[in-house]
Amino acid sequence: MRIHHATGSMLIALLSMAALATAAPVTAPAPVRPSAAQTAAPALWIVQAASVAAARRGVDGVGARVEQELDIIHGVSAYLNPWQIEHLRTRPGVRLFQDRAVTTRADLLGALTAPVVSTTNTLVSGINGTVASSPVGTVVTGVTAPLVSTVTPVLSPVTAPVVGALSAATATKDGSGVLALTLAYQTNYPMLVGADTLQRAGITGRGVTIAVLDTGLWEDTLQNYGARVLATRDVTNGGTGAVSGDPFGHGTHITSIAAGGAQNLGGGYLSIAPQANLVIVRAFDGTGAGRYVDVIAGLNWIVANKQKYNIRVLNLSFGAPPQSFYWYDPLNQAVMAAWRAGIVVVTAAGNEGPSAMTVDVPGNVPYVITVGALTDNYTPYNGSDDRLASFSSTGPTYEGFVKPEMVAPGGHMVASMSSSSYLANIDPNSMLPVEQLFTMSGTSQAAAVTSGVVALMLQSDPTLTPDNVKCRLLASGRPAINSSGKLAYSVFQQGAGLINAVAAVNSSATGCANQGLNIAADLAGTAHFGGPANQDSHGNYYIMNLYGSTWGTPASGDGLWWSQAYPWSQGFNWSEGYVWNSGYTWSKGYTWSKGYTWSKGYTWSKGYTWSKSVPWWTSSTSGTSATSPASIVDWVPNQ
């Protein structure tokens, strides 16, 4: 789900930090200041230059104080007033970005109808005003879609994917479950992607570390985390301490899907990579709210500690609407730096589907693995009705890249959560308090499944590079096909199809991902890239040829053209035997033409002008807020 809100606690913290910034000692001679009447309260900004030292000199030169060093993007954060911003903009090589708000992505099952325990900070929805207070919340107004909407009735207190049967006393059937201890359950997402087969063969993620940057972690003893949690870091509001829990709940849910260690009485694991190691970085507060500066600081710490903890996988189940080209966004730059450092970055596509061009930051980074969501339609043993979740964001990106690369289970996902968490209290109908299990839907959960699969791949072959991991996932995907054997969804909706863990581990494919891209040049600013997608005069999206005299013309091939249709409530088989007659031409890029000026219309150098636009994020905005709060996921009903 995506919720748009600001919290009282964050406001108090920001004001306190602002007061510290304005009262801080000046470390370098400052220009002559204007009168007090010409100044305004400072706001948090990211200042970027050729190096951290150069960015620091710029901030010192206008009499402000550096709050954090962000080495990963050659920048710093600082509280700046409009006068300081104006003067910094005149300095060559300095770029400014006002801090943006981000929150975690969690999609809930039921309507928010029952009141829950009252406590402190107010949660504000951009749609319906005040919804609840945190950390356990009180409902103070009615809530309507798109925060939470009516869903298919739950047949029992436990929804699919809890589908295992251990005895006659605990028998279950599709779409239902029983009230029993956690150890009597078996989640079905390991089965849907083939992870259970690999686990029985001893491939469990052992020795591979997954970093989860989210809201923290509540360690249920049944999840058997123990010594597998190698390190934690709480970077909220500039912090540097250890993670002490997860008051929101989202991070716990995500972590337990990817690498929880719970087993049922039959020996089956409830997660994808149950013996992978973990590094937990908290960048979001007790209501799921966060800010760019903290997320970048978390990424900075993860990359700096990659070797120490053997961090090979990074799960990012959050996002915000794009407001610049992918390469200009400082959060995306940090994500690209993690990929270049050898970390496989897995991101959620977003929950704004099924409309086109709805993929979020950082999922719009062309290099990383961006994941959409599939639902089994509450029939885990019947694969013929599985479908793309309607909330799953789709591509292309504004630069023309096909996203998501693939889809993974993300509908009605049951995973670990404390019954005292914020999410459990604002949606008690989705909580099993005795079992400490919670049901949520979203591309956040689909990303977590994929991160677990990547850990299995890297245990099997530790020599794989991020590009090779992405290539093998693409080459092993199972796309949805219709009764005629054709693709049921375009590549803009499903990418290569449903992730297939067994085929990915056994794949020997190389060189089929990120073709034509150069991440070093991208980060250095010497070259940037566009993707092969375009849009015709009728609004249809298509894949362009990127070769010779046919460059820019529509490529031929199944699934490479999309009229933006979505087959509502229709399920399809996801085929392991489908052969892409055009290869993976849609996973390529081309060098951006520096001589071509793009504005908010996004005109391609050879093609049509995008009809959709977004507020453009530039360094020419004033010192007032240039962006509205963004979030990790929209609130959507379980599917």
Local confidence band at 91 (pLDDT 50, 70, 90 cut-offs): very high
8 Å CB contact between 446 and 348: yes
Neighbouring CB atoms inside 10 A of 381's CB total: 12
151-506: CATH superfamily: Peptidase S8/S53 domain (3.40.50.200)
Which residue did the predictor score with more confidence, 567 or 606?
567
Mean pLDDT on 496-513: 93
Q: What pTM value is reported for the model?
A: 0.79
Local confidence band at 78 (pLDDT 50, 70, 90 cut-offs): very high
pLDDT of residue 468: 96
Rounded Cα distance between 546 and 553, Å, is 8
Q: What DSSP assignment string belongs to 28-63?
A: SPPPPP--GGG----EEEEEE-SSHHHHHHHHHHTT
Listed in sequence order, the residues at least 6 apart from 415 whose beta carbon sits closer than 8 Å to its beta carbon are 187, 252, 253, 254, 256, 257, 260, 270, 271, 437, 438, 440, 445
Residue 369 has pLDDT above 80, yes or no: yes
Per CATH, domain 8-32+41-99 is 3.30.70? yes
Nearest CA to 283 out of 304, 262, 300 is that of: 300
Which residue did the predictor score with more confidence, 564 or 153?
564
Residue 609 has pLDDT above 90, yes or no: no
8 Å CB contact between 419 and 436: yes
Nearest CA to 317 out of 273, 256, 240 is that of: 256
Interval 48-60: pLDDT, tens: 999 999 999 999 9
pLDDT of residue 638: 77
Local confidence band at 108 (pLDDT 50, 70, 90 cut-offs): low
pLDDT of residue 105: 57
Domain ranges of the chain: 8-32+41-99, 151-506, 519-591
Interval 370-421: pLDDT, tens: 999 999 888 877 888 888 888 999 989 988 899 999 999 999 999 999 999 9
pLDDT of residue 124: 26
Which residue did the predictor score with more confidence, 150 or 97?
97
Q: What is the 3-state secondary structure (H, E, C) of 362-431?
A: CCCCCCCEEEEEEECCCCCCCHHHCEECCCCCCCCCCCCCCCCCEEEECCCEEEECCCCCHHHHHCHHHE
pLDDT of residue 538: 79
pLDDT of residue 589: 57
pLDDT of residue 128: 24
Highest mean pLDDT among 31-40, 129-138, 156-165, 468-477: 468-477
**Which entry of 430, 444, 476, 507 is annotated as an active-site residue?**
444
> In the annotation, is 420 catalytic?
no
Vertex 357 angle, CA 148 and 384, to 5°? 65
Q: Which two tokens stand for residue 384?
A: 């013929």
> In the annotation, is 549 catalytic?
no
pLDDT of residue 149: 21
Residue 14 has pLDDT above 60, yes or no: no
**Which entry of 99, 107, 196, 214 is annotated as an active-site residue?**
214
**Mean pLDDT value across the chain:** 75
Rounded Cα distance between 203 and 501, Å, is 11
pLDDT of residue 612: 39
Nearest CA to 476 out of 493, 444, 452, 454 is that of: 454
Residue 185 has pLDDT above 60, yes or no: yes
Highest mean pLDDT among 210-214, 430-434, 584-588: 210-214
> In the annotation, is 522 catalytic?
no
Local confidence band at 266 (pLDDT 50, 70, 90 cut-offs): confident
Mean pLDDT on 33-45: 68
pLDDT of residue 116: 29
Nearest CA to 630 out of 620, 613, 617 is that of: 617
Mean pLDDT on 514-521: 92
Beta bridge partners of 588: 515
**Which entry of 74, 250, 412, 528 is annotated as an active-site residue?**
250
Q: Which two tokens stand for residue 524?
A: 């250095």
